[in-house]
């Protein structure tokens, strides 16, 4: 090998060693829902870039499309859902998706523009919950923990309105798309609303909720990928970027306990 070629080879090797991680040519496409998930991932993106990881954020306005897009290969990763929801989607739709890391928890709250506490709801009040099976069950469990209704013990996380066995106020459960619930508050007497939809609507779980989910609820959000891709090293680096001190500091400062980190 000539001196020149040897020098070029050494320079190339030095550049390789100096870089902590090689940047990939194609960015990782990450699906998120608008609001806090998107805001948090903007910070994750900046942290990941320091490790040479390129990320393209794709926003969705509902819960259904991010998993469909990921399973179809239109996304590489998504970050917007809790594990019970993913498991229900896998069972119902046959998706080949898997959790690779925990992110944050959004405690669900019950909100109302008509009463200050659930006990003030009139007989026959209309109470909204999300219409997807997992978050609908979650909403019913919040209502039960607040003493408004009682559910069959065996219903668990998959509770539906049919599992209500005691309803002293005879409240009427109204099932709506989760994203629509904040806008429906004017027509409803109260509604159980996911925090990632409550916050963009100006509703604060710590200030405005008249009932809230307990701290030990099993609804921590996750990062999902296709099962065949779960061991890709770049996805491990993505999880590391998410679970960083910079992201934790952003969540704590931005959301003031309305969103809680899970690492």
53 burial level (CB within 10 Å; 0-12, 13-18, 19+): buried
67 burial level (CB within 10 Å; 0-12, 13-18, 19+): buried
Q: What pLDDT, on the 0 to 100 scale, is given for residue 257? A: 85
Which band of pLDDT confidence, cut at 50, 70 and 90, is reported for residue 24?
low
Nearest Cα neighbor of 241 from 68, 25, 28 is 28
Q: State the average pLDDT for the chain.
A: 91
More confidently predicted of 23 and 170: 170
Q: State mean pLDDT over 168-188.
A: 97
Q: What pLDDT, on the 0 to 100 scale, is given for residue 25? A: 74
Instruction: Report yes or no: 190 and 210 within 8 Å, Cβ to Cβ.
Output: yes
pTM, two decimal places: 0.78
Q: Rounded to an integer, what distance in angstroms lies between the CA atom of residue 167 and that of residue 150? A: 7
Instruction: Report yes or no: 175 and 161 within 8 Å, Cβ to Cβ.
Output: yes
Residue 152 tokens read as 């069959």
What is the tens place of the pLDDT at every residue in 80-121? 999 999 999 999 999 999 999 999 998 899 999 999 999 999
Q: Rounded to an integer, what distance in angstroms lies between the CA atom of residue 160 and that of residue 92? A: 16
- Which residue in this structure is represented by tokens 């969540």? 251
Domains of the chain as residue ranges with CATH? 21-106+219-261 (3.40.190.10), 109-212 (3.40.190.10)
Cβ neighbors of 166 (< 8 A, separation 6 or more) are 149, 150
């Amino acid at each position: 090998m000539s001196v020149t070629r040897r020098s070029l080879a050494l320079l190339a090797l030095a550049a390789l060693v100096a870089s902590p991680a090689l940047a990939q040519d194609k960015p990782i496409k990450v699906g998120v829902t608008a609001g806090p998930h998107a805001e948090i991932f903007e910070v994750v993106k900046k942290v990941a870039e320091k490790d040479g990881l390129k990320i393209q954020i794709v926003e969705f306005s509902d819960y259904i499309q991010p998993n469909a897009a990921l399973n179809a290969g239109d996304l590489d990763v998504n970050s917007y859902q809790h594990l019970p929801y993913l498991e229900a989607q896998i069972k119902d739709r046959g998706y080949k998706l898997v959790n690779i890391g925990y992110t944050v928890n959004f405690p669900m709250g019950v909100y109302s523009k008509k009463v200050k506490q659930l006990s003030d709801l009139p007989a026959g009040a209309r109470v909204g919950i999300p219409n997807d099976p997992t978050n609908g069950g979650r909403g019913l469990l919040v209502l039960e923990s607040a003493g408004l209704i009682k559910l069959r013990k065996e219903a668990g996380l998959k509770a539906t309105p049919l599992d209500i066995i005691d309803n002293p106020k005879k409240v009427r459960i109204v099932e709506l798309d989760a994203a629509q619930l904040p806008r429906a508050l004017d027509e409803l007497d109260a509604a159980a609303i996911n925090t990632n939809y409550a916050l963009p609507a100006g509703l604060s779980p710590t200030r405005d909720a008249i009932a809230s989910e307990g701290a030990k609820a099993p609804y921590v959000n996750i990062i999902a990928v296709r099962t065949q891709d779960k061991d890709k090293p770049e996805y491990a680096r993505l999880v590391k970027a998410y679970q960083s001190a910079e992201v934790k500091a952003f969540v704590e400062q931005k959301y003031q306990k309305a969103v809680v980190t899970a690492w």
